[in-house]
Amino acid sequence: MATIFYSMAGEGRGHATRVKAIVESLRVRHRVVLFASGQAYDLLEPFYAGSGVQIRRIEGLSFCYRGDGKLDYLQTGRESLLKILRLKHWIEEMCDQVRADSPDLVISDFEPLLPRVAKKLGIPFLSIDHQHFLTSYSLRSLPFLQRIKAFLMGLVVSQFYSGQALTVISSFYSPPLRWGKSDVRQVGVLLGQDILNEVPSEENFLLVYLRRETPQRVLRALENCGVPAKIYGPENALAGPNLSFHSLDRAAFVRDLARCRALVSTAGNQVVGEALHLRKPVLVMPEPGNWEQGINGFFVEEMGVGKCHSMLSIRSNSIRSFLENLESHRQAVNVRRPSGNGEVSQIVEDFLIKLQALRGAKIVHLVGGNPSNGEVPS
């Protein structure tokens, strides 16, 4: 049994959902300690309370939004800078925790503190996330402006941490890797057991997942598209016979996702991947100013599994056009990439076996013997 420290970004629900999918496999054989901030901590702490999985709250970066729901890069940058100034202090605090437990392996889902601690203490670590597609994927198929945005975001991603032994990218799309990225593995979206247990069917409603700050024009377009919509996220700000508003309840959302005609959502990698697993076409609306979601939306259309529209210009006829082409989108969904759960679990187990062999070889060398083949595993 190994001790694994696993950290994740706290913004949004995708990081926590991805981590939970892998932890449920790892916890059977290993001791797992989670480190999370923000929404990720709030989501996972009640689930793991009283279990063998410990979760510790840490400081984390988060996005700031304007009143119109658009991502505020300037304010986000200011807030992030203030936290970065305290980075050294937080790392020292975490070093004390990590030394006390002596983990065998560290894993990070786009969280910058724990990898820096691991690097400082000489503990090997893996990166398992979606965001490193920006530094590893060939994105030549993107329009020129999106390629520029991807390049700029990639510079930021590369600063989060470096030195990982292996980079695993979980995504619903898989363009070719850039030249020289032999230490990168591509896997499908990591899915929770709740998604894997569902058997998809089709009822006459759209499932909608949006942020609370969603512009009213989006709700008006849904009201007039001709199909009832179950909406998770925004407040009940627009009454209408075709709209029903629901609190963010994971179990209810998953049940509705399995039974809806299609998903209308922001363009997060996780929720799109869950929909495609359940054979649901997607109409995605990237959050205004969220460049990563804009790229995800591009690949939704390139794969043929749905459509991408701006929240700031969507109309009811845009949704009707999407609904008229559901069958062709559904055919494209049927050739989706399978879940990456099994692959990632095997990657982690194989890496732990290599670590054990490496440590065994070092011990033999220290006591004056030799490994059986004279080599140290890589």
- What the chain holds in terms of domains, given with CATH numbers, is 3-191+339-366 (3.40.50.2000), 194-333 (3.40.50.2000)
pLDDT at 12 over 80: no
Nearest-5° angle of CA 307, CA 149, CA 18?
A: 65
DSSP one-letter string for 75-130:
HHHHHHHHHHTTHHHHHHHHHHHHHHH--SEEEEES-SHHHHHHHHHT--EEEEES
pLDDT at 301 over 90: yes
- How would residue 278 be classed by pLDDT, with cut points 50, 70 and 90? very high
- How would residue 94 be classed by pLDDT, with cut points 50, 70 and 90? confident
**DSSP three-state, residue 325:** coil
- Confidence at residue 26, expressed as pLDDT on a 0 to 100 scale: 94
**Of 155-159, 179-183, 294-298, 336-340, the least confident:** 336-340
Mean pLDDT value across residues 260-274: 95
**Distance between CA atoms of 320 and 257, rounded to whole angstroms?**
19
- Confidence at residue 357, expressed as pLDDT on a 0 to 100 scale: 85
Tell how strand 206-209 and strand 229-232 pair up.
parallel
> Which of 229, 213, 220, 303 is CA-nearest to residue 264?
229
pLDDT at 354 over 50: yes
Residues 6+ apart with CB under 8 A from 363: none
- How would residue 374 be classed by pLDDT, with cut points 50, 70 and 90? very low
pLDDT at 303 over 50: yes
Q: What's the gap between Cα 365 and its chain centre?
A: 41
pLDDT at 266 over 80: yes
Percent of the chain with pLDDT over 70: 85
Question: pTM for this one?
Answer: 0.86
Please answer whether residues 277 and 17 qualify as being in contact, where contact means their C-beta atoms are separated by less than 8 angstroms: no
46 vs 63 pLDDT, higher one: 46
pLDDT at 375 over 80: no
> Which of 59, 72, 73 is CA-nearest to residue 112?
59
What does the pLDDT look like over 203-250, one tens digit per residue? Answer: 999 999 988 778 888 999 999 999 999 999 877 666 678 899 998 888
The rounded mean pLDDT for the chain is 87
pLDDT at 83 over 80: no
**Distance between CA atoms of 54 and 320, rounded to whole angstroms?**
47
Would you call 89 exposed, middle or buried from its count of C-beta atoms within 10 A (0-12, 13-18, 19+)?
Answer: exposed
The DSSP H or E segment spanning 187 is: strand 184-187
Mean pLDDT value across residues 317-344: 91
Q: What is the 8-class DSSP label of residue 181?
A: -
